[in-house]
Amino acid sequence: GESVGLHLPTLSVQEGDNSIINCAYSNSASDYFIWYKQESGKGPQFIIDIRSNMDKRQGQRVTVLLNKTVKHLSLQIAATQPGDSAVYFCAETPRGFNKFYFGSGTKLNVKP
Amino acid sequence: KAGVTQTPRYLIKTRGQQVTLSCSPISGHRSVSWYQQTPGQGLQFLFEYFSETQRNKGNFPGRFSGRQFSNSRSEMNVSTLELGDSALYLCASSLVATGDDTQYFGPGTRLTVL
């Protein structure tokens, strides 16, 4: 809906395929990272998080990878379902701060 | 446990007016953050409150202010509204105010300035 950017990059996948959403961050002091999912008309919903002392974390159907060398974060969704269609944001914050910086978002479109 | 609630959900104001938005955090959460979301700028941090004190602040003009009450509920106020203030205002709560604590968002208040 209107809660997301007009020119968001869009990833279109077929139902059942795996999805990979990428995010680049610029602050080398960022210590904690979160992926959020935002559906139309709703607030962002927590998906998975990772701290800077890890490079991979797995949840249910989701995996987050962190590459601190190139300041890159990715979200992998296995067996993507139509209900996964939404805008996905990465968010980062430096250690000791509760001030998150959000990426511009990626729109995931799952085709049945 | 109930999630973050925000009231009102929708609001229409005219330029020059002021507005107050309310946020009730998840029970037990003591930190409340506010964000502005627009199509052009995305999600931008406004400020964060913990124990009734503003701990972090974003790059917004002084027309944007907030406060937190002893029960952790928070309000934000925007004075002298401008057309560009039209946005979705999101509140997020977390248990403590450290940098490694998950923030949970409410549904937002959609503000339209005419």
The mean pLDDT value for B23-40 works out to 94
Q: A42, B107: Cβ pair inside 8 Å?
A: yes
Which residues of A have a CB under 8 Å from any CB of B? 2-6, 31-32, 34, 36, 41-46, 49, 51, 89, 91, 93-105
* Cβ neighbours of A48 (radius 10 Å): 18
- A7 has a pLDDT exceeding 80: no
- CA-based nearest residue in chain B for residue A44: B105
- Min CA distance, A50 vs chain B (Å)? 9
pLDDT at A1: 31
Q: Tell me the pLDDT of chain A averaged across its residues.
A: 90
Which of the two residues, A86 and B102, has the higher pLDDT score?
A86
Q: B43, A4: Cβ pair inside 8 Å?
A: no
The residue behind tokens 């210590």 is A31
- B41 has a pLDDT exceeding 60: yes
- Min CA distance, B94 vs chain A (Å)? 9
The mean pLDDT value for A63-83 works out to 96
pLDDT at B56: 87
Distance CA B68, CA B51 (A): 7
pLDDT at A4: 35
Which of the two residues, A20 and A95, has the higher pLDDT score?
A20
pLDDT at B98: 62
Structural contact between residues B92 and B37, judged by C-beta atoms closer than 8 angstroms: no
The residue behind tokens 């990426």 is A103
Distance of CA B74 to CAs A91, B15, B91, Å? 22, 24, 9
Structural contact between residues B49 and B30, judged by C-beta atoms closer than 8 angstroms: no
Q: Coil, strand or helix: which one is B39?
A: coil
Task: Give the pLDDT band of residue B97 (cuts 50, 70, 90).
Answer: low
**CB neighbours of B46 closer than 8 A, spacing ≥ 6?**
B33, B34, B35, B36, B57, B58, B60, B64, B66, B76, B89
Flag whether residue B99 sits within 8 Å of chain A, measured between CB atoms.
Answer: yes
